[in-house]
Structure 1
Amino acid sequence: MPDLWMPGATRLDIGDHAATDGGPAKAIAHITWDKNATAAKPVDLVSYTNLRSYFAGGGAAVAPHILWDPFAGSFTQFVPANSRSKSLVDVAGGTRTNRAGSVVIQIEALFFPYCRVGTTVYPRLIDTPCKGWAELQAWVHSWGVPNAWPMGRPTDFTSHRSENTWETVGGWYGHSQVPENSHQDPGSWPAFVTTDAVHPAPQYEPFPGAAFFKTGKKSPVIAAMHKRLVAVGCSRYKSTANPDVWGSGDVASYAAWQRHLGYTGVAADGQPGAKSWAALKVPNV
């Protein structure tokens, strides 16, 4: 199952989870548009912290799944991917816009036209650094949302809507393309990135599973783990021989690491688990 919570995002669960209705997987592109500015009168960008507090408090009734800061590459997630969020108008008796798919993942980019950051003014979202877009695209895609715009990638602030397309085709939709809604955002959105950029080589070794750690197992992953245990001050090794072979020194050293993390009793038995392994940050080999 894909991650319910986007890796790297701050989790700020507002509760009020509810199931979606099933159907083509969708993602909805919004901008926060919390100020009105013009080329002649730009306005300073609203604080990311302020928007995060808003969606977690008084604005919870219209909170998206993800608040994205395209300038810093920061993310906050308010509900899990398999829950509906409430950023779309949903007219009684029509298509249930917030639920009309196996997922309907809604993203609010912190942006409004002609916002100013420092001394630079940004007319369009795509003029920003769009930091974190590759990671966001990859996570959304992991939930089965096609890397496609069924009604065209947004390029301006005009509305183009087709309820039949919405109901039957999965992919990315601008707020301006969703039935029952009158908003015209996002105006623009970054292009999909290449597969290599979306799926970079992992920085750390993923947990290889409990069965991997058997006496006599030889692997460069074990050697990398050995180096990390030494680096974090948890070495209980009595020999420098065969650092890539799992043995009693690894068990004792890993148990020391588990105790360092606060585990006790059988939870500190020297057998790696997923959480302690992730915390150790064994470099990818």
Structure 2
Amino acid sequence: MTSFHAAVVHADQSVTYYGTVDTRHLRAVRAMAALPSTPHRVVEHPRRPGSVFVLRADGDLDWYQPVDTASPSVRPRATASPAGTVWIDAAIRFGDGVIGGPMDTPRNPPRVVHHTTESPAGGKYLEAVASYLIEVAAEPHLVYCPVTDRVGQFGPLHHSARALRNDGSRRTNREGRVCVQIEVLGRASRPWTDGWDPREKPGWQGILAAIRSWGVPDDWPMGSPVPHPGGSAPRTRSVWQSEGGHFGHCHVPGNDHGDPGAIDTAKVLSVPRTGPQGGARPGVSLARVLAAARKDPPAPDGHRTYPGDVRLVEEALAAEGLLDRGYVDGSFGTRTLVAYAAWQRSEAGGSYRGGDADGVPGRDSLTRLGDRHGFTVTG
């Protein structure tokens, strides 16, 4: 009769070992977890046959491992990177801080991949799922609970995660400048954005700020994730490798998962706006807007270098009556250049005259525009 090591992985990643149990004990554990009245969920280890985990609502993780298998090794901590947000300050740290290594194609555009954990949310499931992901060596960068708005982080954002399969010899986890992977507690069949208000979720806003610090565009190059089950999403290899932005697990070549389901992409990318009573002010990066003002006009129509920042500027120009709302699209094209030049010439925009009013934003004119329309100018 097979024997199993029995242990509990606690929410703080400490482990309590309880000795060994036999097959009959594990069979009873499975039967109890299968009862409808029990919130526990049994999960098999995807790469170690025989190893079993039980997700618990209190955040602990029961672990049963055959006695003839080796324990996972401990890895060294990561080093920091000087560019972009590496660690989110408010995130709970899970694991030892290392989940991958440097990116294979750092000159390719940055991207984000959205997953769902196919588990319950709320309570302490964040800790339980985090422990499971560590033990099966399938860690993303981030894990997020849409019920509690808590964020967990496993490793630095500038290194790779381990939640994707390779596409042949191409390592999808290491694609792009960054490939930030987010596991959200929930199920693909019931989109986690339903009934969820991003304006009241500072944890999610912290995730968005970290993503945008790496220059990830507010775009979905392969379109919105499709319903699951039943939806059919493109997994276009050329788009995945050449375009930055947001992708569902359902979009990644070499993978066959359907998550995250038909989430509301507008909510996912939502930034809180300043209202009459004050509140959070979105930031607009001067450096990104300048880059867009130089790159978008000569590129093909609709080219968007930094659509999130540019769209806020365009909305402000439209509110001033200087840009038709049909051109509020996140592309700093010629229409936006002309509109911004008109802002520079206006009394509110500053004292630009002649060639100085060239439509390329400067800190003074952009700050004045932000003061009037509720955004803050950042570096």
Q: For this structure pair, what is the TM-score category when the shorter chain's length is used for normalisation?
A: 0.5 to 0.7
Matched, 1:53 2:128: no
Which digits, 9 at most, give the CA deviation of each residue in 1:250-282, with x for residues without a partner? xxxxxxxxxxxxxxxxxxxxxxxxxxxxxxxxx
Residue identity in the other structure for 1:103: V
Which residues of 2 match residues 93-132 of structure 1 at below 5 A?
93=169, 95-113=170-188, 123-129=190-196, 131=201, 132=203
Structure 2-normalised TM-score? Answer: 0.44
Residue identity in the other structure for 1:174: G
Q: Check the 8 A contact 1:45/1:111 in 2, yes or no.
A: no
SS at the partner of 1:138? helix
Q: Check the 8 A contact 1:71/1:128 in 2, yes or no.
A: no
- How many residues are treated as equivalent by the alignment? 183
CA-CA distance at 1:196 after TM superposition: 3.9
- Give RMSD over aligned pairs: 2.6
Structure 1-normalised TM-score? Answer: 0.58
CA distance 1:106–1:173, shift in 2 (3 Å): same
Pick the aligned partner of 1:29 from 101, 114, 120.
114
* Runs of 4+ in structure 1 over 6 Å off: 43-46
SS at the partner of 1:55? helix
Residue identity in the other structure for 2:252: V
Which structure 2 segments of 5+ residues have no match?
Answer: 1-82, 283-379
Residue identity in the other structure for 2:161: S
| Matches of 1:165 and 1:176, distance apart in 2 | 14
Which residues of 2 match residues 22-171 of structure 1 at below 5 A?
22=106, 23-34=108-119, 47-56=125-134, 58-59=135-136, 61-93=137-169, 95-113=170-188, 123-129=190-196, 131=201, 132-157=203-228, 158=231, 159-171=233-245
Which structure 1 segments of 5+ residues have no match?
Answer: 36-42, 115-122, 203-285
Residue identity in the other structure for 1:169: E
SS at the partner of 1:30? strand
Residue identity in the other structure for 2:194: D
Query: Larger RCO: Structure 1 or Structure 2 (Cα < 8 Å, ≥ 6 residues apart)?
Result: 1
Matched, 1:17 2:92: no
CA-CA distance at 1:161 after TM superposition: 1.1
CA distance 1:125–1:100, shift in 2 (3 Å): same
Aligned to 1:230: none
CA-CA distance at 1:201 after TM superposition: 4.9
Pick the aligned partner of 1:173 from 209, 222, 247.
247
Q: Check the 8 A contact 2:188/2:260 in 1, yes or no.
A: no
CA-CA distance at 1:6 after TM superposition: 1.5
Q: Identify which range, 167-176 or 13-22, moves more after superposition.
A: 13-22
| Matches of 2:248 and 2:180, distance apart in 1 | 12
Residue identity in the other structure for 2:215: G
